[in-house]
Chain A
Amino acid sequence: MLFDTKNPVRILGLAVLLSVAMISAAHAEDDDDDKRGAPAMNTQWKTECGACHVAFPPRLLPAESWRAVMSGLDKHFGSDASLDPAAAAEIRAYLEKNAGSGKYAAAGKPILRITETRWFKREHDEVPARTWNNPKVKSAANCAACHTQAEAGNYSEHNIRIPK
């Protein structure tokens, strides 16, 4: 009885301590004020990345993944997506500054495809194979097929319409 009541308290205390530590670690990493709230917009990113696919929000991959993506634009998933050095430098800086942390971050080798992150797989595990194979969807990179507001950077569940 004594242990039963004490243990949960200890666990709760430890949890609170851990949360505080994690929050302060996140704050320490994050010295830029404009990183909070609505994500910053970048016209080059929107135009260049959005030319062939939805301009994927920087938060969906960690910084090391974006660095790897930006280092191989001449062979970008089978297409030449090379950019002039000025545009590439600006987009790289924007992606790294606003890159994901926490649940979007990956350990080990940088993941290049958003669809291969654990987070993406978990969020989409209810989507049946026939939806992925639907010609109206065509590719898992085609966020806007179901996320009707993807162009505006809004991936909220309220705006999902799965094509029939």
Chain B
Amino acid sequence: MIRLFHVLVLVFVAVAGLTSLSAAAQTPDDVLTALKTEAKASTTGFQGFSAQRGERFFKQTHGNELSCASCHTENPAASGKHAKTAKIIKPLAPASNPERFTDSAKVEKWFKRNCNDVLDRVCTPQEKGDVLTYLLTVKS
């Protein structure tokens, strides 16, 4: 019984791994394009993303103690530090860290977690797109 469960978990994980492998071959622009499609569908009168709005959103608090910058610092090209555990966080700006925004599953995972911590809710496609547009303007 336990063995069968283990095998099933392994198969599930292998399939999930393969699917995420195919999803991993992305660029930040692909992620931005997908966010734009989502934003168009969900925001009435969508007028595109704004780096300025993204920067404001990134640096301000939203009713909670933490902002994005609390851990990622005011300079997304630099390394950050986890507000609680002090673990080093690699730079968020793709110019400094080419691994960023190249895996949509990972992008979704972290937006969900971090928006919940910072805003107590998920972020809208508009907010995510604004932030990514801002991060893409940051030079290393």
Contact = CB atoms under 8 A, between A and B. Distances in A.
Contacts of B16: 84, 86-87
Given A89-B12, A93-B6, A93-B9, A79 B109 contact: no
Nearest to A77: B84
Q: How large is the interface on B (under 10, 10 to 19, 20 to 34, 35 or more residues)?
A: 10 to 19
B116 interface: yes
A86 B17 CA distance: 9
B19 to A, nearest CB: 9
Interface residues of A, number: 23
B13 interface: yes
A138 interface: yes
A80 B109 CA distance: 10
Q: What does DSSP make chain B's interface, helix, strand, loop or mixed?
A: helix
B85 interface: yes
A52 interface: yes
Contact of A79 (B6, B13, B113): B113
B113 A81 contact: yes
Given A86-B12, A86-B13, A90-B13, A80 B116 contact: yes
Contacts of B84: 52, 77-79, 139, 141
A78 B120 CA distance: 11
Contacts of A138: 85-86
Contacts of B127: none
Count chain B CB atoms within 10 A of each CB in A52, A80, A90, A138 and give the residue with the most. Answer: A80
A142 B85 contact: yes
Given A79-B113, A86-B12, A89-B9, A139 B105 contact: no
A86 to B, nearest CB: 4
